[in-house]
Amino acid sequence: MNDLIDRFITYLKRERSYSEHTVEAYKRDLRQFAEFYSEYSNSVPLDIKKVNKIGIRHYLGMLSESGLAKTSITRKLAALKAFFKYHIRSGAISVNPAMLIKSPKTGKKLPTILSEEQIDTLIKTISDNDFVGLRNRAILEMFYSTGMRLGELLGLNYGDVNFKRLTVRVFGKGSKERIVPFGKTAEAAISKYLRSRREEYGHVDLESPLFISKRNRRISRSSVQKMVARMLQTVSEQKHLSPHVLRHSFASHLLDRGADLNAVKDLLGHNSLSTTQLYTHIRIEKMKEVYKQAHPHGE
């Protein structure tokens, strides 16, 4: 089973061009399942042909009893379905034992967003007296001005930014490329950061990572996550503050100002309009709040 997992992971990396973050999540999920199923079936090493629907249901039940969120259980089930589907094609099995298992129903959880005022306050609180402050401000501006994902920002090179057209080339999920515009405020922040960077580290060529650490290396995922969470805590008391909050805020603010839903879909790099429609629920909730506060019979 472990060999089959390794083959599947190699396929995701080489042929599907999945991000390192996604590949690691799939690997963890599949190894966790293999460990559970070996003990459940008393089979070491585990034979993939011995895996059946009943056993997978027991696994999902164990995850639920342990208190794991339904969204995480859904992700783990999706990993199993993809894994077995791949090995049907490879000839290792003839039936996908996870195919007919339905994901647990999850209520639609509205994403965390910041108001425009909170975003303005957030940007202004960042010190721009040194290289790190200028870089952090540029990162936050890039997130909010483009709505890109964390992995997309980490992969940016200097040559991906077109300062004349004020656009940036982004490589999304599955290495799908899109061009996203950004505003003059972001352009000013990025330019100031790059001037400081050249003073500190010298020439920046087209293939250089756009955002670097103090050691002149591509900035890490954990560094950006920690920095953004720390900065967001200065303007919000909500939980689960991450770079995705800026992506959600970007989309919500565009729609609030009358942007077309299809245009926002393309800017975000969504494959399906139904994913983008989540943000329309945020607007409805906002309207409900205004109604309750302002209408005589609102309560």
**Same domain? 85 vs 176:** no
Catalytic annotation on 288?
A: no
In a domain, 109, yes or no: no
**Rounded CA gap, 73 and 102, in Å?**
11
pLDDT of residue 80: 94
How far is residue 249 from each of residues 112, 144, 180, 203, measured CA to CA in Å?
8, 7, 16, 34
pLDDT of residue 87: 93
Digitized pLDDT (tens) for each residue of the chain, 299 residues in all: 889 999 999 999 888 878 888 889 999 999 999 999 988 888 777 888 889 999 999 999 999 888 888 888 999 999 999 999 999 999 999 989 998 898 777 666 667 889 999 999 998 888 888 999 999 999 999 999 999 999 999 999 999 999 999 999 999 877 789 999 999 999 999 999 999 999 999 999 999 999 999 999 999 999 999 999 999 999 988 877 899 999 999 998 998 888 888 888 999 988 888 778 877 776 666 666 655 765 565 65
**Rounded CA gap, 74 and 62, in Å?**
13
pLDDT of residue 109: 66
pLDDT of residue 173: 79
What six digits make up the tokens of 156?
């940016």
Instruction: Answer with the one of 73, 90, 107 that is the final residue of a domain.
Output: 90
How far is residue 281 from each of residues 82, 107, 131, 135, 298, measured CA to CA in Å?
30, 13, 39, 34, 19
In a domain, 98, yes or no: no
In a domain, 97, yes or no: no
CATH code (residue 81): 1.10.150.130
**Rounded CA gap, 255 and 111, in Å?**
15
Catalytic residue selected from 18, 59, 144, 279: 279
In a domain, 200, yes or no: yes
Catalytic residue selected from 81, 149, 197, 253: 149
**Same domain? 79 vs 146:** no
**Same domain? 33 vs 175:** no
Catalytic annotation on 295?
A: no
b/e for 100-118, b at 16 or more Cβ within 10 A?
eeeeeeeeeeebbbbeeeb
In a domain, 10, yes or no: yes
In a domain, 164, yes or no: yes
Catalytic annotation on 217?
A: no
Domain count, the chain: 2
Catalytic annotation on 11?
A: no
Catalytic residue selected from 27, 173, 178, 192: 173
**Same domain? 170 vs 288:** yes
Question: 81 is in which domain, residue-wise?
Answer: 2-90
**Same domain? 77 vs 200:** no
Which DSSP string do the residues of the chain spell out, in sequence order?
-HHHHHHHHHHHHHTS---HHHHHHHHHHHHHHHHHHHHHHT-SSPPGGG--HHHHHHHHHHHHHTT--HHHHHHHHHHHHHHHHHHHHHTS-SS-TTTTPPPPP---PPPP---HHHHHHHHHTS--SSHHHHHHHHHHHHHHHH---HHHHHT-BGGGEETTTTEEEEE-GGG-EEEEE--HHHHHHHHHHHHHHHHHH----TTSBSSB-TTSSBPPHHHHHHHHHHHHTTT---SS--HHHHHHHHHHHHHHTT--HHHHHHHHT-S-HHHHTHHHHHHHHHHHHHHHHHSTT--
In a domain, 8, yes or no: yes
Catalytic annotation on 244?
A: yes
pLDDT of residue 68: 87
In a domain, 183, yes or no: yes
**Same domain? 125 vs 267:** yes
| Closest C-alpha among 203, 205, 164 to residue 181 | 164
Catalytic annotation on 247?
A: yes
**Same domain? 74 vs 121:** no
Catalytic residue selected from 76, 247, 253, 265: 247
**Same domain? 230 vs 142:** yes
